[in-house]
Amino acid sequence: MNRRTAVLLVFLLILVGIIIIGKQKEQAIQLEQVEMQAANELRRVALDAQKARQQALEEAKRIEVEAQRAKRAALNKARRAEAEAQKAKEMAQEAVRQRASEIQAKINDLVAQANALLDSTEYQKAIDIAKQIFSLDPNSSEAKLIIEQAKAKLQEAVKQKVEAVVEEVQENIEVPAVDLVVPGE
């Protein structure tokens, strides 16, 4: 892989990460808006309930029976509104939990893919997937471990290839044996 391709690949990974983060931020903003709307609705309903209560007290001066009915109606409306607001809040919290669960499932899937690639000696692809995991969870110890294992296996593969070439050269050409020092050892 030449340097230009690597830079392009890194750029694409960063771009995908930015898009994912942007979508996550957008979803978080939407959830905040839902919570704010629920709070505003609760305030509005509370104000409505307070107005209804005032009207009920004024009516009590004229007709006590009517006042009690209006008061009960206003309190029931406030309870329903409060229950609806609580339900909206719980739905928003569940949506946040669901999104976190989806992200964790995606991370688990990527970890499984990366481990399969490590087992099939596709170390660079495993590193690329680990970078995708980092875009979802910058503190992922699993992604760090995958990268460390892939780099170690890459170094070992390079070392084995170099040793094989040296052996082949030594077998075909009578050259005094030289200890080969591989960078990174």
**pLDDT number for residue 4:** 87
In a domain, 182, yes or no: no
168's tokens: 């082949």
Q: CB-based burial of residue 9 (10 Å sphere; 0-12 exposed, 13-18 middle, 19+ buried)?
A: middle
Q: Structure pTM?
A: 0.45
In a domain, 137, yes or no: yes
Measured CA to CA, the distance from residue 84 to residue 75 in angstroms comes to 14
In a domain, 14, yes or no: yes
In a domain, 178, yes or no: no
- State which residues form the domain around 131: 3-172
The DSSP result for the chain, as a single string, is --HHHHHHHHHHHHHHHHHHHHHHHHHHHHHHHHHHHHHHHHHHHHHHHHHHHHHHHHHHHH-HHHHHHHHHHHHHHHHHHHHHHHHHHHHHHHHHHHHHHHHHHHHHHHHHHHHHHHHTT-HHHHHHHHHHHHHH-TT-HHHHHHHHHHHHHHHHHHHHHHHHHHHHHHHHS---------TT-
In a domain, 25, yes or no: yes
In a domain, 183, yes or no: no
In a domain, 111, yes or no: yes
**pLDDT number for residue 117:** 94
pLDDT tens by residue, the chain, 185 residues: 688 898 988 999 999 999 999 999 999 999 999 999 999 999 999 998 888 888 877 886 888 888 698 889 999 999 999 999 999 999 999 999 999 999 999 999 999 999 999 999 899 999 999 999 999 999 999 999 999 999 999 999 899 999 988 888 888 876 455 566 666 65
**pLDDT number for residue 21:** 95
**pLDDT number for residue 171:** 81
Answer whether 37's CB lies under 8 Å from 66's CB.
no
**Number of domains observed in the structure of the chain:** 1
**pLDDT number for residue 53:** 86
In a domain, 122, yes or no: yes
